[in-house]
Amino acid sequence: MISVGIIGGSGYTGKKLVQFCESHKKINEYKVYGFSTAGSSVYEIFPDLAGIIKNQSIINIEQLSFEHDVYFIALPHGESLNYVPGLISAGKTAIDLGGDYRLNNPDDYIEWYKYNHTSPEFLKEKIYGLADLAETNYSGSSLIANPGCYPTAVSLSLIPFIKNFSDEIITISTSAYSGTSGAGKSPKQHLLMSEMNGNAAAYNLNSHRHYPEILQTLNKFGLNSPFSFATHLLPVSVGIYSTSFIHLKSEINQEEIFSIYKQYYENSPFVRLRNQPPNLTWVTNTNFCDLGISVKGKSVIIVSAIDNLIKGASGQAIQNLNRFYGYDETEGLLDKNSILIPERVSSIV
């Protein structure tokens, strides 16, 4: 049994972490730490959780205790730098849901995040926690960098293809769409319902912070061709919907692609290979990533759908905790008695 501290537990991802920790059979206690919400109760911040979880007061971050085994850090970019070095020095496990330790090159933080990284020694030591990959190694470090939402959706959809056909790829272009909760809780005019209802808009073209993270991962698995990435906002609260267009040197067989993906993810309980393009609603409020593949001649289109707050943040963080400690990978994330548990990915649904 382990004890958990949630730093920044009053945001959207923090709320999901609280819910998952409450149902996790290997977590015997968890405490929530915050800034402006310190002194409030969890019920005051999340009234809908009353009677579902145990109530507790949110502790001021300045009173952060080193009594826990694991710390989830759900803070804005740049803030984790203030806590991770101390936690690691104290022998604790830190799972950072922000972007402060995802990239390998500290210079990339100057270009993409606009700050100088103050603990670059951890960048190459960290575990990049793309939890559905068998290749993710959880030994050698107690710092896990939880991948971003777009990188999770895009990487899971493209890695098996790149591993097997990198020399055949001419270009990959990805168009991805996010719900407004990806921008956090802070009020922003362009995210108001009156602005977004019935609307859609591209944003941060050629400048999205997740681009270098995606490229870093795809390069690791063999990408050696041009890659472009465009992000858009959808008039929905949650979800990431990603469509990747792959242009090849020669024609390819769809059955072969399906077979490769089926084998690659056969031991991944949260990746589902669909025989049609997935709907976003199939994955919202779950930790699943649904993939759909279409092949025609020299063109391949791969679609992926995830919940940005769960698979793209808190759910994957719990999955990383489970893999790090050797627990059942689905612990805290699936109700074993639920009829909603799907077939394994070894059967195409």
Give the residue numbers marked as catalytic. 149
Question: What 3-state DSSP class applies to 348?
Answer: coil
H/E run at residue 296: strand 289-296
Q: How far apart are CA 103 and CA 99, in angstroms?
A: 8
Quickly count: other Cβ atoms within 10 Å of residue 118's Cβ. Answer: 13
Beta bridge partners of 144: 95, 127
Q: Phi and psi of 176, rounded to 5°?
A: -125, 150
Q: How far apart are CA 289 and CA 283, in angstroms?
A: 7
Q: Which DSSP state fits 57?
A: B
Closest CA to 201 of 235, 173, 241: 235
Q: Which DSSP state fits 176?
A: E
End-to-end CA, the chain? 36
Closest CA to 274 of 158, 157, 165, 174: 157
Q: How far apart are CA 277 and CA 302, in angstroms?
A: 8
| Residue 278 · residue 290 · CB < 8 Å | yes
Quickly count: other Cβ atoms within 10 Å of residue 232's Cβ. Answer: 15
Instruction: Give CA separation, 188 vs 50, 150, 154, 183, 191, in Å.
Output: 28, 21, 26, 9, 6
Beta bridge partners of 306: 240
Torsion of CA 259, 262, 265, 270, to 10 degrees: 150
